[in-house]
A and B are shown apart, each in its own frame.
Chain A
Amino acid sequence: DIHLTQSPSFLSASVGDRVTITCRASQGISTYLAWYQQKPGKAPNLLIFDASTLQSGVPSRFSGSGSGTDFTLTISSLQPEDFATFYCHQLNTYPWTFGQGTKVEIK
């Protein structure tokens, strides 16, 4: 199975901060990587697919990059509604897998 490692697992940030979350795959996955945001008690919500394509309706302050084994999710200016847990997810190889998550909290 392909293992995804996110870093950091937890970060504390302020509104307006630029935030970067990384996801490293245990083997190459081309660009078959998605990012989800999850708020407490809710289902995950797709933000980015194909590593860098913004899902329709997602604010442009979210962006993704990377290919192969190293990927990044960036929030250019953190907003109050962005505080949540973020997960990377690979679809390159079955079984599909998720990272362990990055919880973004208010400083």
Chain B
Amino acid sequence: QISLKESGPTMVKPTQTLTLTCTVSGFSLSTRGVSVGWFRQPPGKAPEWLALIYWDDDKRYSTSLKNRLSITKDTSKNTVVLTLINTDPVDTATYYCGHSAGVLVPFDPWGQGTLVSVSS
């Protein structure tokens, strides 16, 4: 059974770096076609796709955030890490990671999400 779980700080101060970890189980990050993506959802708003990393280490980023985002994976640890630098209160959101079984295949399932507040 595929599952994902997000972890990281619940609060960071503006300008700090946010580092989130997605720990996966039930699949391998090195299986051809597989990718893990990150999304976020501010309270009361629609989800926003942030980044994804493919099994072959190909990476894609949101246009608006690409200068602040970094995504990496550690296949041996079954983890995918998202880093967002220079945070701002507008980055306050629930952050989710999700699994995709193939290229152009939507993410399913997603993790339970982790709420991150950016506040001084």
Interface residues of A (CB under 8 A from B): 1, 32, 34, 36, 38, 42-46, 49, 55, 87, 89, 91-92, 94-101
Check if B46 sits within 8 Å of A91, measured CB to CB. no
Shortest distance in angstroms between B92's beta carbon and chain A's nearest beta carbon? 16
A92 cross-chain contacts in B, Cβ below 8 A: 104
Q: Which residue from chain A places its CB closest to the CB of B112 in the assembled complex?
A: A43
Known: A87-B46, A96-B49. A55 touches B108 (CB 8 A): yes
Check if A89 sits within 8 Å of B112, measured CB to CB. no
Check if B60 sits within 8 Å of A44, measured CB to CB. no
Most A CB within 10 A of own CB, among B46, B48, B63, B107 = B46
Q: Quick one: which of A44, A49, A55 contacts B47, CB cutoff 8 A?
A: A44
Interface majority SS (helix, strand, loop, mixed), chain B? loop
| B54 contacts chain A at the CB level, 8 A cutoff | no
B48 cross-chain contacts in A, Cβ below 8 A: 98
Total interface residues on B, CB under 8 Å, equals 21
Selected A-B contacts with CB under 8 Å, 24 pairs: A32-B104, A36-B47, A36-B106, A43-B96, A43-B98, A43-B109, A43-B112, A44-B47, A44-B110, A45-B108, A45-B109, A46-B108, A46-B109, A49-B105, A49-B106, A89-B49, A91-B104, A91-B105, A91-B106, A92-B104, A94-B60, A94-B63, A98-B46, A101-B46
Interface residues of B (CB under 8 A from A): 46-49, 60-64, 96, 98, 104-113
Most A CB within 10 A of own CB, among B48, B61, B108, B113 = B108
Q: Which residue from chain B places its CB closest to the CB of A85 in the assembled complex?
A: B46
Check if B63 sits within 8 Å of A95, measured CB to CB. yes
Measured CA separation A46–B49 after assembly (Å): 15
Known: A36-B47, A98-B48, A100-B46. 18 other contacts (CB 8 A): A43-B111, A43-B113, A44-B47, A44-B110, A45-B108, A45-B109, A46-B107, A46-B108, A89-B47, A89-B49, A91-B105, A91-B106, A94-B60, A95-B60, A95-B61, A95-B62, A95-B63, A99-B46
